[in-house]
């Protein structure tokens, strides 16, 4: 990117000139990325797979892993005329993009085997579970292969926040998010408006701007036009909701919490003006589970291209070819190809006899993997909808063993539902994962009971995963320290001989499916350029 103009003369470039240069250097995908960067609309960098024109001279490719990165690699290369073989250790495609439903079985390393016994039609996405509207690559495949989407409610004003580590009357009490947000914005606006009126901001704006700014704060914070005070707003909810006739008629307004109480409780931590980039509305999920995406791509690969239940044992390469020794049902076999795209997580690849250069191996060792845990709890009644009018979204809390309880964005108003009982990371995920599946569920249910009175009595069965203990993943996603990102990561984006690495770990969209897809697209484009030269 340096050559595209970030130097001192950059400001002198016109937008159009900049975009033309980008298109020349990086093709249409980079052009789109550049348009995003200039404010034409931001998205994950690549909006469409690379166009692979021409007939490659060396076209045999072995792809290691049938997760989203491997599937996209296999699909795009097959379309371009390559002869592809995909090796997959599991008996199904998708990698981490899994959906647990009745009969789905998982054995963690050092742990018990769980077989999911949710009712028919109920499921939990225990891997990736949401798709931001700007993840163009993921949405490219859902569109292309007709994977039906539905909205994932990622931000619910009516949901509860539950903080029990703070102080004061709001600690340890479920508080509707709308109340905390309305009150924090209201009080902040009131303070700022009053300071502004007293002249505190006069050095920063003239009289006309000050008037507009006061108008903004009055609307933003729902302040009284008369004295700029905040005394509540219908948006935070009612004591008695409006209705028919004169009783309840207009209803009764609610009273704001005290600013000190909000600050003492810690609830203010979850109030933000704009969501983080990755968490904004609009958010999607596939109808009937995340596994629909990898399944749809796999369906569009030639029959038999993916060799399931086949483990990679040894990888070697010469100047002209790559050979991979695999084991299927105890039977060894060696597959030779011109190129290899390896999508195996680095946490797993490090323990395979990979034969990669010492520089590569050192760089791989610098990528840490995230301990991550999730649990799905089947509830016999959708009490969050029936009793609390909470339709999807998250209950955030300050207990890091739980972090958030997420209510399902599907099956609205049905009888039963599966909710996410915790989503934990790092040491907390490690700690919780040391428990048996039954004890994990008990911990999750005990916590949920503090928020929802019907939690315990509605609980039926659970399915949990600790990704760091899953044999073919050994972690939720790759994590690069700043130092490793600067030194090791760039090494791995280059091929080691004829072997290319792809996957979410080889992107800046780590942990998201879009990272896997776009990494695959990038490596496929580079591999093709080289294969065309022979």
Partner 1 sequence: MTVLRILTCLPLLTAGIAAVAQTTHAPTVAAAPEPALDPARVFTDNCSACHQVDGKGIEGAFPALAGDKFVLGRPEQPIHVVLEGRGGMPTFKADLTDAQIAAALTHVRTSWGNTASPVTPDAVAAVRSGDAPKAEATKIISAH
Interface residues with partner 1 (CB under 8 A) are 109-110, 128, 130, 164-169, 171-173, 260-261, 264, 266, 269-270, 276, 278-279, 346-348, 350-351, 364-371, 398, 400, 403-404, 423, 425-427, 430-431, 433-434, 466, 468-469, 471, 474-477, 479, 481, 511-512
Q: In the complex, what is the shortest distance from the CB of residue 240 to partner 1, in angstroms, rounded to a whole number?
A: 25
> Is residue 500 packed enough to be buried (19+ CB in 10 Å), middle (13-18) or exposed (0-12)?
buried
Q: Which is nearer to partner 1, 288 or 399 (CB)?
A: 399
Q: In the complex, what is the shortest distance from the CB of residue 105 to partner 1, in angstroms, rounded to a whole number?
A: 19
Q: Which is nearer to partner 1, 37 or 370 (CB)?
A: 370
Output the CA–CA distances (angstroms, integers) from residue 397 to 127, 277, 414, 433, in the order listed: 21, 21, 26, 19
Q: In the complex, what is the shortest distance from the CB of residue 474 to partner 1, in angstroms, rounded to a whole number?
A: 5
DSSP-assigned letter for residue 534? -
C-alpha span between 351 and 106 (Å, rounded):
21
Which H or E element spans position 346? helix 346-349
Q: In the complex, what is the shortest distance from the CB of residue 160 to partner 1, in angstroms, rounded to a whole number?
A: 16
* Closest of 395, 392, 393, 389 to residue 411, by C-alpha: 392
Angle of helix 136-144 versus helix 513-533 axis, rounded to 10: 80
Q: Which is nearer to partner 1, 1 or 434 (CB)?
A: 434
Q: In the complex, what is the shortest distance from the CB of residue 501 to partner 1, in angstroms, rounded to a whole number?
A: 15
Whether the CB-CB separation of 162 and 265 falls below 8 Å is answered with no
Q: In the complex, what is the shortest distance from the CB of residue 469 to partner 1, in angstroms, rounded to a whole number?
A: 6
Whether the CB-CB separation of 175 and 157 falls below 8 Å is answered with no
* Closest of 306, 288, 284, 305 to residue 143, by C-alpha: 284
Q: Which is nearer to partner 1, 18 or 472 (CB)?
A: 472
Pairing label, strands 149-151, 393-397: unpaired
Q: In the complex, what is the shortest distance from the CB of residue 446 to partner 1, in angstroms, rounded to a whole number?
A: 14
DSSP-assigned letter for residue 67? B
Q: Which is nearer to partner 1, 167 or 210 (CB)?
A: 167
Q: Which is nearer to partner 1, 50 or 65 (CB)?
A: 65
C-alpha span between 166 and 348 (Å, rounded):
40
Tokens of 410: 């599907």
C-alpha span between 44 and 36 (Å, rounded):
9
Q: In the complex, what is the shortest distance from the CB of residue 159 to partner 1, in angstroms, rounded to a whole number?
A: 16
E strands of 23-153, at which residues? 60-64, 83-87, 105-107, 113-115, 131-132, 149-151
Output the CA–CA distances (angstroms, integers) from residue 105 to 102, 134, 179, 286, in the order listed: 9, 33, 42, 21
Q: In the complex, what is the shortest distance from the CB of residue 25 to partner 1, in angstroms, rounded to a whole number?
A: 31
Q: In the complex, what is the shortest distance from the CB of residue 434 to partner 1, in angstroms, rounded to a whole number?
A: 4
Partner residues linked to 407 by β-bridges? 393
Q: Which is nearer to partner 1, 75 or 160 (CB)?
A: 160
Q: Which is nearer to partner 1, 56 or 475 (CB)?
A: 475
C-alpha span between 173 and 178 (Å, rounded):
15
Tokens of 413: 């108003």
Reading phi first (left if > 0) and then psi (alpha if -120 to 50, else beta), residue 224 is in: beta
Q: Which is nearer to partner 1, 270 or 532 (CB)?
A: 270
| Helix (H), strand (E) counts: the chain | 15, 24
Q: In the complex, what is the shortest distance from the CB of residue 432 to partner 1, in angstroms, rounded to a whole number?
A: 8
Q: Which is nearer to partner 1, 197 or 279 (CB)?
A: 279
Q: Which is nearer to partner 1, 184 or 466 (CB)?
A: 466
């Amino acid at each position: 990117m340096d050559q595209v103009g970030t130097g001192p003369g950059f400001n002198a470039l016109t937008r159009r000139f900049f975009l033309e240069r980008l298109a020349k250097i990086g093709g249409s995908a980079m052009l789109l990325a550049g348009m995003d960067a200039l404010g034409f609309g931001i998205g994950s960098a690549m909006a469409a797979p690379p166009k692979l024109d021409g007939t490659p001279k060396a076209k045999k490719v072995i792809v290691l892993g049938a997760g989203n990165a491997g599937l996209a690699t296999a699909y795009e290369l097959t379309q371009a005329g390559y002869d592809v073989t995909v090796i997959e250790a599991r008996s199904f495609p998708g990698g981490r993009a899994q959906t647990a439903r009745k009969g789905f079985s998982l054995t963690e390393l050092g742990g018990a085997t769980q077989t999911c016994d949710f009712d028919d039609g109920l499921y939990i996405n225990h891997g990736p579970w949401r798709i931001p509207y700007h993840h163009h690559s993921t949405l490219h495949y859902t569109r292309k292969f007709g994977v039906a989407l539905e909205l994932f409610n990622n931000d619910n004003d009516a949901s509860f926040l539950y903080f029990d580590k703070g102080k004061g009357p709001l600690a340890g009490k479920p508080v509707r998010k709308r109340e905390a947000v309305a009150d924090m914005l209201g009080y902040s606006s009131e303070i700022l408006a009053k300071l502004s009126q007293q002249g505190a901001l006069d050095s920063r704006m003239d009289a006309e701007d000050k008037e507009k700014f006061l108008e903004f704060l009055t609307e933003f914070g729902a302040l009284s036009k008369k004295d700029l005070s905040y005394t509540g707003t219908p948006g935070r909810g009612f004591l008695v909701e409006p209705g028919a006739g004169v009783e309840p008629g207009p209803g009764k307004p609610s009273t704001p919490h005290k600013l000190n109480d909000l600050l003492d409780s810690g609830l203010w931590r979850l109030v933000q003006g704009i969501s983080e980039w990755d968490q904004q509305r609009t958010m999607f999920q596939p109808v009937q589970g995340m596994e629909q995406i990898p399944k749809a791509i796999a369906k569009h690969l030639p029959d038999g291209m993916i060799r399931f239940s086949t483990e990679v044992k040894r990888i070697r390469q010469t100047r002209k070819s790559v050979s991979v020794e695999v084991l299927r049902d105890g039977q060894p076999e060696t597959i030779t190809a011109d190129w290899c795209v390896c999508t195996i997580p680095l946490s797993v690849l490090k323990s395979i006899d990979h034969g990669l250069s010492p520089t590569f191996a050192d760089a791989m060792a610098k990528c840490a993997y995230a301990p991550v845990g999730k649990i799905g709890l089947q509830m016999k009644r959708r009490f969050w909808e029936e009793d609390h009018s909470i339709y999807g979204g998250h209950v955030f809390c300050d207990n890091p063993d739980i972090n958030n309880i997420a209510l399902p964005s599907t099956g609205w108003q049905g009888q039963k539902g599966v909710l996410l009982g915790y989503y934990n990371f790092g040491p907390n995920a490690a700690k919780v994962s040391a428990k048996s599946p039954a004890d994990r569920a008990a911990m999750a249910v005990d916590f949920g009971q503090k928020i929802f009175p019907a939690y315990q009595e509605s609980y039926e069965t659970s399915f949990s995963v600790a990704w760091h203990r899953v044999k073919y993943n050994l972690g939720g996603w790759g994590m690069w320290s700043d130092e490793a990102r600067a030194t090791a990561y760039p090494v791995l984006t280059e091929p080691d001989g004829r072997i290319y690495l792809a996957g979410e770990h080889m992107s800046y969209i780590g942990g998201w499916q879009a990272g896997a897809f776009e990494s695959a697209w990038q490596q496929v484009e580079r591999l093709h350029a080289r294969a065309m030269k022979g």
